Every structure is written in C-alpha cells, then in structure tokens.
Structure 1
C-alpha cells in the first residue's frame, strides 16, 4: 500500500469510528413518565439526579416554579428538544455537543407545593462527571433569574 493509500485508509477508519461513537445516543427509555405521583428512581450508577431520591449522590432539590417557567428556561438552552409536554409533566432530551450522547430530563409539577420535581439521567455510560446535576442547577438559575 502506498503512503497516500495508507493515509486515506487511516482517515477513513477515524471517520468511521467517530460516526459510530456519535450514533451512540441509546434508545429512549420506555418507562419514563410519572408513576404514582413520582418520577422513576435513579439507578445505582452516578449518572442521575432526582428530587425524589434520598441518596446524597443522587438527591437534588425540586425547582421552585411552574412547568411554564421550566419550558421558558429550556427554550434558552442549547441542544434540547421537548419530547412530551402534558401540562404538569415535561420530558426533554439533551444531546451532548461532541459525542451525541442523550440525557433524559423529566419535570413533574406539584402545584400544591409550588415546585417542579426533576429527574435528569444519562442513557449510556456509568459516570456523567456531574453534568446532570449541573444542568438542573442551570435550569434552576434560569428560572430564578429570567
């Protein structure tokens, strides 16, 4: 193989590898949504936070506000798509810039308490390097400071 052919082959393999990784978004979970007034529990892996979880590694406070305020915050963010909006429940997908990984973020309103419960979870992988917690805090900040 000539040097030019070797370089062309190497570039092709690199592109194929990147395309494979980018396509690793994972399938949308079938069990999302409220169940008995709550969002489903986080797995044991440290790539999920939920306002219904009591473990220090997964617990996060609900957001003070309304579903409308949540939607307004989501509309200010990048690489997010609202998949479900059924009044008191919102499911949004966030896609990472480089690798195309998808995180599922859910919101469930409790109007009696004036809060919106949250769950943010990575579809793939084990650790999220704190991305899901940071995302919820960013949404909380956007709602508090419109």
Structure 2
C-alpha cells in the first residue's frame, strides 16, 4: 500500500516565467497567489516595494529572510530571479518565486502549491508574513 505523503515530493514546475518580467499565470486552483494576477481578484497579492533601498539591498534582504525561514530552501538566486521552496512538516512543497524589478522598485512574487487543490490560504499567509519581515528589515536599515 502506498502512503499519500509519497506524492508530496512532486517535481517542480518546469517553467516559472514567461519572460524576464512575467510569471506564468496561476492555475485555476485556489492554491496560488501572484502579484501579477488581476488586481482585486482572489489570486492577487501586492508585490514587495523597496523605495527606501537599492535593488541589490532589497534582493539581499529577501535572501536573508528566506535563509532564516523555517522549511525554506533557496533553489536559485540570480540577479533578478529567485526561486525558493517551502516544505511543510507533512512533506508538501510550495514554490515561491520572485522577480526583482529595479525600474519599478518592486519585487514581484508568486507562491503556489505543487499538489492538491486547496491550500487553506497557506500561500497567501506566507507571502504576507514574508512581506512584513521584508518591510521591517528594510525599515530597520533605513
């Protein structure tokens, strides 16, 4: 008999972005939020703003926060793109991706579960917690 948790370790999506500045859209399932979704829609979450810092400082602040986050692993960290995974205690994996956009002084964010349909707002709550820590750390540095 196979345990249901074995399926939790599914491979990551092959493609996270359409272009250097654009994520692939969230699926129709309610387990995804994105700062590039339609504003006012159920999948929308605000990007991380960093008007009081440089893009490099904002990126490093975000990487520091991810490194200190429980269950998080930074999978890729490029100049403008960051991919982190968050693993729950049950083994479920969520992909969180960021695009640093210096021209707009924002970091776009997308957080999505790999499996399942509902996430009980875990991805939205995670993004809001990361944003709160990001804003607090940038304010402390200002």
- Number of aligned pairs? 129
Identify if the C-alpha distance between structure 1 residues 137 and 72 changes in structure 2 by more than 3 Å, giving closer, same or farther: same
1:63 equivalenced with 2:48 (yes/no): yes
Matches within 5 A, 1:114-129: 114-129=105-120
Which residues of 2 match residues 73-92 of structure 1 at below 5 A? 73-92=65-84
Q: TM-score, normalising length from structure 1?
A: 0.82
Taking structure 1 as reference, are residues 108 and 36 closer, same or farther at Cα in structure 2, changes over 3 Å only?
closer
CA-to-partner distance for each residue in 1:26-77, whole Å, 9 max, x for gaps? 1111112452521110001000000000061100100013221211111221
Which aligned pairs between 1:1-146 and structure 2 lie closer than 5 A? 17=3, 20-22=4-6, 24-33=8-17, 35=19, 37-54=21-38, 56-65=41-50, 66-97=58-89, 99-146=90-137
Which runs of 4 or more aligned residues in structure 1 lie more than 3 Å from their structure 2 counterparts after TM superposition? none
In 1, the alpha carbon distance for the partners of 2:134 and 2:123 equals 17
Q: TM-score, normalised by structure 2?
A: 0.84
> Is contact 2:37–2:44 with CA below 8 Å preserved after alignment?
yes
RMSD: 1.6
Structure 1 regions of 5+ residues with no counterpart?
A: 1-12
| 8 Å CA contact retained: 2:67, 2:74 | no
Instruction: Please give the alpha-carbon distance, in whole angstroms, between the structure 1 residues aligned to 2:78 and 2:18.
Output: 11
- Tell me the distance in 2 between the aligned counterparts of 1:74 and 1:44: 27
Q: Which has the higher strand share?
A: 2
Q: Which has the larger radius of gyration?
A: 1
